[in-house]
Amino acid sequence: MLTCQITDNTLIFEWPENAAVKGTQTHRCKRGKHHTLKQSKILVQCVINVCSRLSPSSYNAVFKGLDVIIATLTTDVWPTHNDTYQWQNIVVTMFEKTLKRSLPLETKITYWYQAQRILKELSRAGAIPPSVTIPHTKNNIRLGENATPPIGYNGKKIKAAKLPEDILPKKFIIERDLHKPDDIYLSEFKSELESSINIVSDSLNNYWEEMLKTHAIGKSLIDSLPIQEREIVPRNNGLDDNGVHVCSPSNTAALPWLLFLIKNMFESGQISELSVRELHRKKIGVSKKRITALFQQAKKICPTKYLNRSVASEHVSRLIGTLSALDCNAAIAILVINNPSFTPEAISKADLYMENGDCYLQLDTDNGHARFSISKPRALSRKVSYLNKISRTVVSTIVDCTFSFRCFFKERGDRNWRRLFLYMGSRGPATNPKKNSNNSIKKGSLRSRLSVDLANHKTSIDLSPRALRATQGIIAFLRTGSLAVAAMVLGNTIDVTETNYVPRWLVKRFANRTHRILTQKLIVVATHGYPWALDASDFLTSDYLHLFIVRILEEATGNDPFAVIARRRLSANAHTTTSIPPKTGDLYLRIHSSILAALYSYDKKVSDMPQEEQFRIHPTTNLSHQSVCSIAKLFKSIAEIDIDTASEADFQVALILGGDCLDEMKAAHQQALLEVPYYDSVFINAQHPK
């Protein structure tokens, strides 16, 4: 239950929080300087009423709304409860002050949305007349403009230039690669996203492998100790049979014994945090200087490609087989990449066990499948995903590494023993790894640890699980062209996928590109032949400008006014005719293995040609090499289509092209694959396939 303590200058809100070390979480708001105690109590009660209808994770947003009210409602002279005119002026003034604050527009809208909820509660309480109109804003009114971009693409608002020195260099204000055909650009865009997600995935997997190696090193050190002595030494307060402490400098196995004692003390509840200070305070039996020296020894034997910290506590924590907050964040990112149907918020707070002790992770030993589900509270259901090999390895490691934490919480009667992610925090076992941002620039953050692998990437990569998930959804959409498939991959409805993830960002991105292409066509045609032609365009070099001119001429095949003017101004032979009649026709292909084999071989040969040559339009056929290759790919896709798993759109295309001959096409395709080597030898010595 949310409570509040009112002091002279502060409003201190407190509510239960299982993930917090002390069991409760607090938030402080400044109290209105001129507000009376009665007025503060009214505002606090309204906040409590609003929060009673929300989950604790939404409290902070409401507190931001309270801050807005306190900052804008500065007077202690409130009108009477039935003075509509005065209250209307006050509310409008508050709204105006909120919009004038030097914050991003989205933030101001979000804050006022929360303030509006509190004002409505004031109206229900009778402090404000019901007839007062409260300016209304939707919390997600600009959501479409801020759909999560994929990794490698971050938007940045640029202020309008007011002075010459405010103008940015050309490379920051142009649209790149306008000379490339749309299908090539889209294909390269998909490949770029796939490459970026693979780089991040490989880096995270390597980070996880290094952690597992460190766990194995620590386990081997502890297992090297005699089993009988491991039972006796803890009962003797760390002393061996000769009365000498097992961690003394004279013992060559001092480090393994220290790891064993730390692990034993933690699992028995004698220590709650892992530090030299805590071990010395609990009187482990050796000096603080000796503990520090052994910690440094532990650091030296750990792999440090990713774990490169001056403080050795995390190295020791890894050696005894526990997880850190960053290890959990890496695991969350890996699970989101491999299971994008899980949202980062849900997976970070997921339960591994039910209240009765049953596990949400279910194994099918016959088929080798692992099924895991997480809660969807608002939908009153659970989201299910079948884990691949990488995900199974990560989850099984988490289960092994959190066993001692689980016992610790269960003995205390803390429900957090059910959580999937339990780790060693700075003040003891904790359950909220997501509070640490993956994109923090601080030393020791996940971004800084993975920087050794990400340094060569051309742009800054967003490591937040939300961006990784959005990237997987966009890749699925680009691969299939199906919004339904992307929604299925993300585990959302089509409406949510369209609003929050895939098309809205792509539409904005490619609408901007299309607009720039049209604009650049006009600019290039208008400035052609002038000294400032290159500077006026979106191209950094004359080579790129030339390629764009080639594109304009290839696309200016009609008799519309722009096409005529473009050919007249840009063509090297200006005296030639400027009227090119459009070519239309039908393509007839007999379904035969030799024809398909020739097309498949032709496709392989063209793929080795320069891109400009692949897309050059043949004056007789009005087709490019790549157009013919598209036909080959289309027939191959139809012949290999799986009717059971194909989308409705793919199936309809197959019916249109194959019709009643679909089985005949499949047979011809299989025979064509055997005949391809013959046609490869036909094309092998040809400079260009004919």
291 with 354, same domain: the answer is: no
Q: How do the residues of the chain divide into helix, strand and coil, expressed in percent and rounded to 5?
A: 55, 5, 35
Closest CA to 207 of 466, 402, 468, 447: 447
The answer on 341 and 298 residing in a single domain is no
Span 263-281, mean pLDDT? Answer: 80
What is the Cβ-side half-sphere exposure of residue 510, based on CA atoms within 13 angstroms? Answer: 13
498 occurs within a structural domain: no
Confidence of residue 574 (pLDDT cuts 50, 70, 90): very low
168 inside domain = no
- Residue 435 — very low, low, confident or very high, per pLDDT cuts 50/70/90? low
In this prediction, residues 42-46 reach a mean pLDDT of 91
Least trusted range by pLDDT, from 125-139, 326-340, 386-400: 125-139
User: Do residues 330 and 291 share a domain?
Assistant: no
Contact (Cβ atoms closer than 8 angstroms) between residue 489 and residue 340: yes
**Boundary of a domain, candidates 438, 454, 470:** 454
Instruction: State both tokens at 466.
Output: 């939300």
Of the given ranges (61-75, 208-222, 498-512, 540-554), which has the lowest mean pLDDT?
Answer: 498-512
For residue 150, tell me if it sits in a domain. no
Report the candidate in 362, 346, 647 with the shortest Cα–Cα distance to residue 469. 346
Domain final residue pick, 122, 142, 162: 142
Contacts of 69 by beta carbon, 8 Å cutoff, 6+ apart: 43, 94, 115, 118, 119
Q: Cβ contacts of residue 412 below 8 Å, gap of 6+?
A: none
pLDDT, average across residues 262-285 = 80
What pLDDT does residue 377 have?
62
Q: Are residues 558 and 633 in the same domain?
A: no
φ/ψ of residue 19, rounded to 5: -75, -15
489 within 8 A of 342, measured Cβ to Cβ? no
Amino acid at site 97? K
Domains contained in the chain, number: 5
- Give the contacts of 464 (CB within 8 A, at least 6 positions apart): 344, 437, 438, 439
Pick the closest to residue 448 from 435, 461, 430, 466 (CA basis): 461
- Angle, CA of 477, 481 and 483, to the nearest 5°: 60
Could you give the 3-state DSSP secondary structure of residue 577? coil
Asked whether residue 396 carries a pLDDT value surpassing 70, the answer given is yes
What is the structure's pLDDT at 586? 64
Q: Are residues 9 and 135 in the same domain?
A: yes
Tell me the pLDDT band of 361, cut-offs 50, 70 and 90.
confident
Average pLDDT of the chain is: 81
pLDDT at 310: 67
Which of 40-54, 74-88, 621-635, 646-660 has the largest mean confidence?
40-54
Question: Is residue 605 assigned to a domain?
Answer: yes
Quick one: pLDDT band at residue 149, thresholds 50, 70, 90?
confident
Contact 206, 453 (CB under 8 A): yes
16 - beta bridge partners? 24
Mean pLDDT across 315-339: 90
pLDDT at 23: 72
Answer yes or no: is pLDDT of 572 > 70: no
* Same domain as 26, residue 7: yes
Question: Residue 621's CB: how many other CB atoms inside 10 A?
Answer: 12
Residues 109 and 66 in one domain: yes
Average confidence (pLDDT) over 485-512: 77
271 lies in the same domain as 334: no
- Same domain as 424, residue 364: yes
Q: Pick 378 or 121 by higher pLDDT.
A: 121
State the residue range of the domain holding 432. 325-454
Residues 511 and 623 grouped into a single domain: no
Residue pair 537/520 in contact (Cβ under 8 Å)? The answer is yes
Residue type (1 letter), 269: G
CA distances (Å), 116 to each of 4, 108, 135, in order? Answer: 21, 12, 8
Residue 354 near residue 360 (C-beta atoms within 8 A)? yes
* Chain segment 161-220, per-residue pLDDT in tens: 788 877 778 777 777 888 888 778 888 888 888 888 999 999 999 999 999 999 999 999
Query: Do 411 and 266 touch, CB atoms closer than 8 A?
Result: no
| pLDDT at 143 exceeding the cut of 50 | no
Q: Are residues 550 and 654 in the same domain?
A: no
- Give the pLDDT mean for 569-573: 69
Task: Evaluate if residue 672 carries a pLDDT over 80.
Answer: yes
More confident residue, 660 or 628: 628
User: What pLDDT band is residue 378 in, cutting at 50, 70 and 90?
Assistant: low
Closest C-alpha to 298, from 331, 327, 276: 276
For range 8-17, the mean pLDDT: 88
**pLDDT for 214:** 92
Task: Supply 49's token pair.
Answer: 């009423």
Smallest CA-to-CA distance from 605 within 529, 501, 676 is with 676
Residue 217 has what pLDDT?
93
Task: Kindly state whether residues 360 and 413 are assigned to the same domain.
Answer: yes
Checking if the pLDDT of 142 tops 80, the result is no
Given pLDDT bands bounded at 50, 70 and 90, which one contains residue 146?
low
As a whole-number percent, the residues of the chain with pLDDT over 90 amount to 9
The domain boundary, picked from 302, 319, 336, lies at 319
CA distance 278 to 317: 14
621 located within any domain: yes
Q: What is the token pair recorded at 240?
A: 């061996």
In a domain, 461, yes or no: no
Q: What is the pTM of this model?
A: 0.69
Establish if 281 belongs to a structural domain. yes
Highest mean pLDDT among 148-152, 322-326, 437-441, 686-690 belongs to 322-326
Asked whether residue 376 is domain-assigned, the answer is yes
